Amino acid sequence: MTTMKQTLESERDALYIAWSEDRQTAAPTPLRDWIARHPAHAEELTRWAVDAPVLECAAQRPTDPAAEARTLEIGQQVVAEMRARYLTAQPAPLKGLLETAKACGLTPKALAERLGVGLSTLAKLQQRHFRFASLPAEIVERAADALQVSAGQVRAYLQQPPTLAAGASYKSDGVPRAAEQEDFAQAVRASRDMTEEQKAYWLAQAENTTGE
Amino acid sequence: MQESLAQTRQDRPASPLQPLQTEGRTREPHVEAQIESLLRASSESFWQRARQQDRALPDWVQEEALVGILRIWNRRGDGEAAWKIAALLIERSARFVSQHIRCWPQLGPQHVEECIRDVQIQMLADLFNDGRGCEFWEVRFWLCLKRRLLNIVQKYRAVAEAERVPTPIEDDEGHTTDYFDRVAAPEGLSAQHRTEIREALALLTEQERIAFVLYHHEGWPQQEIAAHLKVTDRTVRNLLGRAEKRLELWRTENMQ
């Protein structure tokens, strides 16, 4: 929805709310006055006033359980269709935490500060070296806030298999493989670049992690 | 680093509720309080409260609060939970939507079903839209729904009117009997009959209803109605005459 259209919709809602609430008062403002105050909305105000008597008695009509059930049935179909479309049209997956941070103008250090972790922990998050189930929900939410993306996108990124560090060179006879994923709480305890306060905070959060 | 963690905490908003973008408009305080309290509740307790059937209960969850939570969960990426709330709001609004669409007798069964579907699609699209144009759903849920419903019903009524073969009614030119005074005057009718007359207004065509309501309910002179509708005074008289005949006919059939 464009900004102008949104503003117009918002104005219409505000006007309809004001007009409807005035109509419930003991001495409602005449339609003529409403139109004089809001000439750009004359047509809508007239239509609301003209339809109002019919709608007011609609609400007083006896309920029709069969009609209501059919309305609900149609609604459930609509929900199922829209939900399926919506959930498959989720935003593109994140390329990486650091890449997304860069796009937001955040350096790795600034992102680590926003998350309240050390740089080495951030690097492990980037490479998905933590078992996802051991991560506190709080760290996902902080990352989503800092990166201006949804928590779902961060979760989807962190749930993928671990990667190798970008740009690292390896001397090995075999194909290099990412290290085994580790437990977040254990990594926090062993961390050398987190303060005691940060450690205490994240260990308390990790304790509440259900592992779901 | 200690300072940075403290800073991080300060940077985080105290509440996930975003202020409304329209100046001078806020959610009702009790709605905000409900949102805050529900966000702290466990999932089980949340759904238990949200699915209560009795509106009179003190902890009944307002629809506006449900919209607020749906949007917060959706922003956090919990689409599944947000859609569960959407389904609940469809359930809660089924009676309202049904009553406010089926009160227009000129809509045939197929139009009614299509109209219901369009209203529900519009409602869901708005609920998942965080933009300024949809934020009033968190302020007055039922009025936002009613306005959208009116817009959609209006389109279907126009289609129904175009498809309808009009009931032939004698067109007495210059017919100016004050029908409303004679038939629908409050002192002359019981409350039930007044309601029935209002209900019968739905039988009129769009133009007839505009002329009738502006003349009899709003007290506009015929010249002003003519200027408003951009038609001649004579057309207004004809519209009023036809509306009155249609209502007279309805009265003969229904109020004996």
Same domain? B34 vs B127: yes
CA A151-A156-A162 angle, to 5 degrees, is: 125
Whole-Å CA distances, A40 to A35, A60, B97, B135: 8, 32, 28, 22
Q: Does A115 touch chain B (CB under 8 A)?
A: yes
Establish if A161 belongs to a structural domain.
Answer: yes
Q: Are residues B108 and B199 in the same domain?
A: no
Residue A73 lies in a domain: no
A145 SS3 class: helix
| Residue B186 lies inside a defined structural domain of this protein | yes
What domain range includes position B201?
Answer: 179-254
Of chain B, the end-to-end C-alpha distance in Å amounts to 85
Tell whether A212 is covered by a domain.
no
Q: Give ∠ CA A124-A129-A133 in degrees, rounded to 5.
A: 115
* Cα–Cα–Cα angle for B9, B13, B18, rounded to 5 degrees: 170
Residue B231 lies in a domain: yes
Per-residue pLDDT of chain B (256 residues; tens, 9 = 90+): 344 433 443 444 445 677 777 767 788 999 999 999 998 888 889 999 999 988 898 889 999 999 999 998 887 778 889 999 999 999 999 999 999 999 888 888 989 999 999 999 999 999 998 778 888 999 999 999 999 999 999 999 888 877 665 554 444 444 443 344 444 444 445 566 566 667 778 888 888 888 988 888 788 889 989 988 889 999 999 998 888 888 888 777 765 5
Interchain contact, B117 vs A49, CB within 8 Å: no
Backbone angles phi, psi at A76, to 5 degrees: -65, -35
C-beta separation of A51 from B150 below 8 A: yes
Query: Is A51 within the bounds of a domain?
Result: yes
* Cβ pair A16:B143 closer than 8 A: yes
Closest by CA position to A152, among listed A140, A167, A163: A140
CB of A126 closer than 8 Å to CB of A98: yes
Domain shared by B61 and B101, yes or no: yes
Task: State whether residue B181 is helix, strand or coil.
Answer: helix
**Residues A199, A107 share a domain:** yes
A196 & A129 share domain: yes
- B115 lies in the same domain as B145: yes
Same domain, B156 and B212: no
Nearest to B135 among A10, A42, A86 (CB): A10
The reply to whether B125 and B214 lie within a common domain is: no
Q: What is the pLDDT of residues A123-182, one digit of tens each?
A: 999 999 998 888 988 898 889 888 888 777 888 888 888 886 655 555 666 666 666 789
Residues B104 and B47 in one domain: yes
Q: Do B113 and B206 fall into the same domain?
A: no
* pLDDT-derived band at A212, boundaries 50, 70, 90: very low
Find the mean pLDDT for residues A181-199: 91
Between CA A202 and CA A212, with CA A206 as vertex, the angle to 5 degrees is: 145
Note whether B184 and B148 are same-domain residues: no
**Chain B interface disruption, residue of A3, A74, A150, A195, most B CBs within 10 A:** A74
**Residues A30 and A128 both lie in one domain:** no
ipTM for this model: 0.73
B167 with B115: CB under 8 angstroms?
A: no
> Which chain A residues are closer than 8 Å to B125 by Cβ?
82
What pLDDT sits at residue B11?
41
| Residue B4: inside a domain | no
Domain ranges, residue A183: 97-165+179-207
- Which residue from B11, B66, B47, B82 is spatially nearest to A141, judged by alpha carbons? B11
A139, part of any domain:
yes
Q: Based on the structure, what is the number of domains in chain A?
A: 2
Task: Give the C-alpha separation, B58 to B69, whole Å.
Answer: 19
Instruction: Give yes or no for B240 touching A (CB within 8 A).
Output: no
